[in-house]
Amino acid sequence: MKAKSRIIRDLTVGSVPRTLLTFSLPLFLSGLLQMVYNMVDMIVVGRFVGTEGLSAVAIGGEVLQLITFVAMGFSNAGQILISRYVGEKREDLVGDMVGTLFTLLEGLALAIMVVFLFTYQDIMRWLNTPAEIWEYTRQYSITCVYGVMFIYGYNLVSAILRGMGDSKHPFLFIAIASVINVILDLLLVGPMGLGPLGAALATVIGQAVSFFFALRLLYRSREQIHFDFRPAHFRISRKVIRPLLSLGIPMVIQSAAVTFSMLFVNAYVNAYGTVAVAVTGVARKLESMIGVVSQAISSAGGAMVSQSLGAKKTERVPKVVGHALWIVAIPASIFALITVLKPEWLFGLFSDDPAVLAMAVTYIPVAMVQYLGATLRPAGFALINGSGNSRLNLLVALLDGIICRIGLSLLLGVALAWGISGFWYGNALSGLVPFLIGGTYLLCGRWKRLGA
């Protein structure tokens, strides 16, 4: 019973704000470390290599997003379903889901890695990678792709743990990866002079070690998750594959639509040169500081909504949605104030290039829109994902990723000739879509049917 208390937690009891904050805190810290993990690459490369190295890591990060959206979609779906099974006290289905997730995601990771190795040059051309940073970008991207099995593995194990109410251990695992990444970044990029290649190696090694630690915990908790790690248990279970695909495919489409639409917009931005690439890349990292809070609350809220619906406690759902809003609003307001008052200092953490700092000032109004979207999104996603509404997920994907982000970017950037600012604003404004759809879904009350 002691092991069970460490890995399985009931999220349907106690004060809603306290439970939401307690469960989301490790998720926030995990996201914060993940953000630092990624930012360190850019900071170290920017300082040791310069603007060209910084731009290469920024585009390499875009390539990495392109190959990880599948992991994010199915992992999130698996987490929601595991939370539902825990709420319904159907532990046998938890074990079936664990084996199915392992086989499905790691198989997809291998396939994606092979496909990318044959197509990466076309992808880099599509992203309008500047000629002067082509080799740097190639080195960073290829090296990260070799670690895709570890990226998918960490995501699926973390989803399993979070679905059971355990957000502490995923934080510990990403902490291990972050420490390793920082140490290796400073060593490989600095004294050894490997540049972006060294940063990529540090990332892959950190992810690999983190995954093996996570796998070890899951093995030690195998009795509690009803999964014995025998080869036969890794088969794809007919009991869970249908709901996993039903929820996961729309989530993958959602992730794909957002990822591809962002890359579409970034391809136009990249055509403005290395300074524009550097500014946009740094801005994305700075925005991720609020994004980690947003993602933590969204994930925690989704797990709470799912368990509450599984346990037939529908009265808790609106409370989760409401508290998700104000919890994110506080840090977002503070960071917005810092961005307005000290933009040169924030961007100066990554680069001291005067051209980069000058363009960074023009990005401030766009950042305000981004922060607003990051504040409003978690409440909508917590309800949509937690209720397991696959059709609504698909609608969000189409509106957010395809129609709004690409449509607004082309309208403002090309048709209205706003230039790079038009593409920035198009991307930022699309981030409001999940809140609008989620708010309408909350008010209409159809999500209550899942908890009836």
Measured distance CA(387)–CA(405) in Å, rounded? 25
Measured distance CA(401)–CA(433) in Å, rounded? 9
- Whether 292 contacts 26, CB under 8 Å: no
* pLDDT(192) > 70: yes
Measured distance CA(68)–CA(165) in Å, rounded? 24
| Tens-digit pLDDT profile for residues 357-368 | 888 888 989 989
Alpha helices in 387-419 (DSSP H): 390-396, 407-410
Mean pLDDT of 225-230: 79
pLDDT reported for residue 5: 41
* pLDDT(451) > 60: no
pLDDT confidence band for 138 (50 / 70 / 90): confident
Instruction: Give the global pTM.
Output: 0.67
Mean pLDDT of 197-210: 87
pLDDT reported for residue 450: 58
pLDDT confidence band for 8 (50 / 70 / 90): low
Measured distance CA(205)–CA(212) in Å, rounded? 11
- Whether 113 contacts 149, CB under 8 Å: yes
State the residue for tokens 């949605």. 321
Backbone φ/ψ region at 10: left (φ over 0), alpha (ψ -120 to 50), beta: beta
* pLDDT(3) > 50: no
For 79, residues 6+ apart whose C-beta sits below 8 A from its C-beta are 159, 160, 162, 163, 299, 302, 303
Report the range out of 27-36, 115-124, 396-405 with the highest average pLDDT: 115-124
pLDDT reported for residue 425: 92
- Considering only residues 31 and 195, tell me which one the structure prediction assigns the higher pLDDT: 195
DSSP 411: I
* pLDDT(292) > 70: yes
* pLDDT(4) > 70: no
- Considering only residues 443 and 31, tell me which one the structure prediction assigns the higher pLDDT: 443
From residue 282, give the alpha-carbon distance in Å to each of 20, 38, 108, 127, 429.
Answer: 30, 11, 30, 17, 19
The domain segmentation of the chain, as residue ranges, is 16-441
For 316, residues 6+ apart whose C-beta sits below 8 A from its C-beta are 12, 16, 304, 308
| Tens-digit pLDDT profile for residues 314-339 | 888 888 888 888 888 888 898 889 88
- Whether 307 contacts 89, CB under 8 Å: no
- Per the prediction, the chain carries an average pLDDT of 81
* pLDDT(2) > 60: no
Measured distance CA(401)–CA(409) in Å, rounded? 11
pLDDT reported for residue 154: 82
